[in-house]
Amino acid sequence: MNTFVTGAKKAGSAVKKHLLTSISYMLPLVVASGLLIAIGNLMGGKQVTSLAQMNFPNSMTTLGVLGMGLLPSFIAGYIGYSIADRPGIAPGFLAGQIASFLGAGFLGGIIGGFIAGYIALGIRKIKVPRWANGLMPMLIVPTVTAIFTALIMFFLLGQPLTAATTALNHFITGLDRSQRALYGFLIGWIGCADFGGAISKIPNLICDGLLLDGIKGPEGIKVLAAMVPPFGITMSYFFAKLFHKNIYTKREIENIEVAFPMGCCMITEGVIPIAMNDLLRTLPCTWIGCGITGMISYGWGNESSVPSGGIFVIPAMSKPLVAVIALVAGSLVTGILLAIIKKPLTDKEVNETQDESQDEEKNVDLSGVNLQ
């Protein structure tokens, strides 16, 4: 039983590593393509298919759309790479093309990547005569993997994948405003639950996936809500100051000065050192603030075709005004709540500067750390 549990844990963390690797390679592509589309659209560009129609705005939009089309392949290709190293890349990219063909974008890309990756890994392990060694990475692994992947993806998984994607899209586009507001709250809340940590990754991944299928609302929530914790905490500092209440130590204020600009770029992690000192009071305030931002953004139909970039991509969203209102409202709520419920500090506590050399570490479980 015990070996089964550790085995399952190991497999889980391996799957996570492969997924994260692909996302790591994919992100720059999504950001660039998303911004290209946004730049093109702002100038009235359209996607065109012939060179005769090409002008500057059209060229931006067209390239962006082409870039987005590469996404399933990027995901599948780099999952394949993470599993089987270089021989996994080519079959993985092919599996991504199958996913595009099936219209199963993101989900299909992930599944295809894993299928291609593990087949490639299996074939790599087959012993061949010495004269065939050179042929393995160049010819045998990619071709044979591609053949098996094609058979599985087209004939076994094709129908279910297409059906699942269509059903999901129908469900999401069919939501009315109140339902959207509710889901917006949930996505905003969970997406910031641990300030960019493991829990946040899940809804954020789903938002990225939906973007691939042309549903851009959730992505708007993700971008906006990620900025709420740093903005809210910054605001709470000023609110509290207004009422002559000290709620942060000098050290924490220094951290806020770093967290705010990071927040503008959509990096939530900057608030962790501040939040960690008072998790019980900070978390509920940021959760509610992020939820409200999500609720307003999604409820009033704001969409973002760019998955990353913070305040700099707000002009590129479909309803920048709604986006700003959502962001400000969520941050205000967080800020006011924090200013109210955080305990006032005495002057002595405020000036207390922890000695740098005595950075306290919480005890962590290191039993899994072993030499290999």
Q: How far is the CB of 361 from other proteins (least distance, A)?
A: 4
Binding flag, residue 370, other proteins (CB under 8 A): yes
**CA geometry: angle at 48 spanning 65 and 38, to 5°?**
40
According to CB under 8 A, which one of 7, 10, 12, 28 is a site residue for other proteins? Answer: 28
Chain centroid offset of residue 276 CA: 23
Q: Which residue lies nearer to other proteins by CB, 176 or 361?
A: 361
**3-class secondary-structure state, position 25:** helix
Q: What is the DSSP string of 340-359?
A: HHSPPPPHHHHH----GGG-
**3-class secondary-structure state, position 256:** helix
Binding flag, residue 1, other proteins (CB under 8 A): no
Helical H segments across the chain, by residue range = 2-42, 56-69, 71-84, 89-102, 105-124, 135, 141-150, 158-173, 177-191, 198-212, 217-225, 228-242, 250-264, 272-276, 279-299, 320-341, 347-351
Q: Which residue lies nearer to other proteins by CB, 346 or 372?
A: 372
Binding flag, residue 59, other proteins (CB under 8 A): no
Q: Which residue lies nearer to other proteins by CB, 78 or 189?
A: 78
Binding mask 75-104 for other proteins (x = CB under 8 A): ------xx----------------------
Structural tokens at position 221: 């929530």
Amino acid, res. 255: N
Binding flag, residue 207, other proteins (CB under 8 A): no
Q: Which residue lies nearer to other proteins by CB, 2 or 363?
A: 363
337 and 247 Cβ atoms separated by less than 8 Å: no
According to CB under 8 A, which one of 121, 137, 140, 269 is a site residue for other proteins? Answer: 269
Binding flag, residue 267, other proteins (CB under 8 A): yes
Binding flag, residue 364, other proteins (CB under 8 A): yes
Binding flag, residue 58, other proteins (CB under 8 A): no
Only segment of 2-10, 23-31, 173-181, 330-338 that touches other proteins (CB under 8 A): 23-31
Binding flag, residue 216, other proteins (CB under 8 A): no
146 vs 84: CA distance, rounded Å: 14
Binding flag, residue 23, other proteins (CB under 8 A): yes
Q: How many CB atoms lie within 10 A of CB 171?
A: 9
116 vs 99: CA distance, rounded Å: 12
127 and 110 Cβ atoms separated by less than 8 Å: no
Picking from 236, 240, 241, the residue whose alpha carbon sits closest to that of residue 259 is 236
Only segment of 131-139, 150-158, 338-346, 354-362 that touches other proteins (CB under 8 A): 354-362
Q: How far is the CB of 83 from other proteins (least distance, A)?
A: 8
Residue 81's alpha-carbon distances to 10, 118, 140, 208, 230, in angstroms, are 19, 10, 16, 21, 35
According to CB under 8 A, which one of 1, 5, 51, 371 is a site residue for other proteins? Answer: 371
267 and 189 Cβ atoms separated by less than 8 Å: no
Only segment of 37-45, 141-149, 322-330, 364-372 that touches other proteins (CB under 8 A): 364-372
Binding flag, residue 197, other proteins (CB under 8 A): yes
According to CB under 8 A, which one of 15, 20, 140, 175 is a site residue for other proteins? Answer: 20
Q: How far is the CB of 369 from other proteins (least distance, A)?
A: 5
Render the burial of 247-281: b for 16+ CB within 10 Å, e for the rest: bbbebbeebbeebbebbeebbbbbbbebbeebeeb
Only segment of 145-153, 177-185, 311-319, 359-367 that touches other proteins (CB under 8 A): 359-367
Q: How far is the CB of 167 from other proteins (least distance, A)?
A: 29
Q: How far is the CB of 20 from other proteins (least distance, A)?
A: 4
Phi, psi dihedral angles at 295 (to 5 degrees): -60, -45
Q: Which residue lies nearer to other proteins by CB, 32 or 164?
A: 32
Chain residues binding other proteins by CB under 8 A are: 17-18, 20-21, 23-24, 27-28, 81-82, 197-198, 201, 267, 269, 357, 361-364, 366, 369-372
